[in-house]
Amino acid sequence: MANTTAKTINRPASELQNAAFILAGVFAAAFGLKAFLLSSHFIDGGVTGVSMLVAAALRLPLAVLLLVINLPFVALGYRQMGRRFAVRSAIGIGGLALVLAFVPFPDITSDRLLTAVFGGVFIGAGIGLAMRGGAVLDGTEIAALLVSRHLVLLKVSDIILILNVIIFGVAVWVLGTEPALYSMLTYFAASRVMEFVLNGIEQYTGVTIVSEHSESIRLAITEGLGRGVTLYQGKAGFGKRGEQLNERDIVFTVVTRLELPQLHAEIQRIDPHAFVVQYGIDDAQGGIIKKRPLH
């Protein structure tokens, strides 16, 4: 009974938090568009960029085009992501269209470089906040996901890149070379800020360490860094010294990118010849992800 009550209490709180993220994302993205990009005729990437291109070419209202072009992708994504995602995204895109249509924003600067960079900053922050709330303000990723299911040789990121290359190529023809180049800068700034909003400064990195001194490295990580480790039993190895097949523990840990230099320094101190592989992790849960206090 206690668990049921807790779930009933937590769900409205969680939905309220999601709504706050989406609302903040809508206003941040709208501010980036109206206070920076639109007056300078710059565009963003993705479906938003397509909407801005069509609006510039045909002199149609951007708010209407955002709805018309984005919502079909949300409808197509209904089966892939579920009803809750589709409803949140529809509300987010509809809210962005309404804010663009009815909320006035001042034109912040006429400097084109500042416009491109800070327009991208606010748009990226808005998209990232909306995604943290379980919604999207741009249907590009939905479209890329659906296309990738039919073109197995291409990843979602590849399709997004191809779409944006086409969009900015058309922008050169519609807007001119200089606005298109500034628009590419806007897109780059938006993508970097969106990644930061989603992952934060504590972006996780997985590190696998193969060493004869695995126990010393394990202690350095658990006691020095306060991180958890997982040990795999393995055999080393096949290299220039020939087949040796010596059994040893392989250490795996997850750290933030701020902790990587310290981790590498500890590994170098213990075993300069250790074999280290690292790779980015989009998200991680459970275990000792947050650093535990050291005593």
- pLDDT, tens digit, for every residue of 46-81? 889 999 999 988 889 999 999 999 988 888 777 777
Least confident interval from 21-25, 210-214, 236-240, 291-295: 291-295
Indicate whether 112 pLDDT > 90: yes
Which residues on adjacent β-strands are paired with residue 235? 247
The reply to whether the predicted model has a pTM over 0.75 is no
**Torsions phi, psi for 278 (to 5 deg):** -130, 150
The pLDDT score that the predictor gives to residue 131 is 87
Does residue 143 contact residue 47 with C-beta atoms inside 8 Å? yes
Which residues of the chain form CATH 3.30.70.120? 204-281
Span 268-286, pLDDT tens digits: 999 998 999 998 876 666 6
Does residue 262 contact residue 269 with C-beta atoms inside 8 Å? no
Q: What mean pLDDT do residues 181-205 have?
A: 85
Burial of 139 (0-12, 13-18, 19+ CB in 10 A): buried
Span 192-203, pLDDT tens digits: 898 888 777 566
The pLDDT score that the predictor gives to residue 202 is 60
Class at the top of the CATH hierarchy for domain 204-281: alpha beta
Rounded-to-integer distance, Cα 279 and Cα 282, Å: 10
Under the banding of pLDDT at 50, 70 and 90, the label for residue 43 is very high
Q: What mean pLDDT do residues 238-258 have?
A: 74
Under the banding of pLDDT at 50, 70 and 90, the label for residue 153 is low
What Cα–Cα distance (Å) separates residue 89 from each residue in 26, 72, 98, 174, 181? 11, 11, 14, 29, 30
Does residue 226 contact residue 294 with C-beta atoms inside 8 Å? yes
Angle at 175 between CA 60 and CA 187, to 5 degrees: 95
Residues ≥6 apart with Cβ < 8 Å to 249: 214, 215, 218, 231, 232, 233, 234
Closest-CA residue to 29 (of 87, 77, 114, 98): 98
Six token digits for residue 82: 């579920």
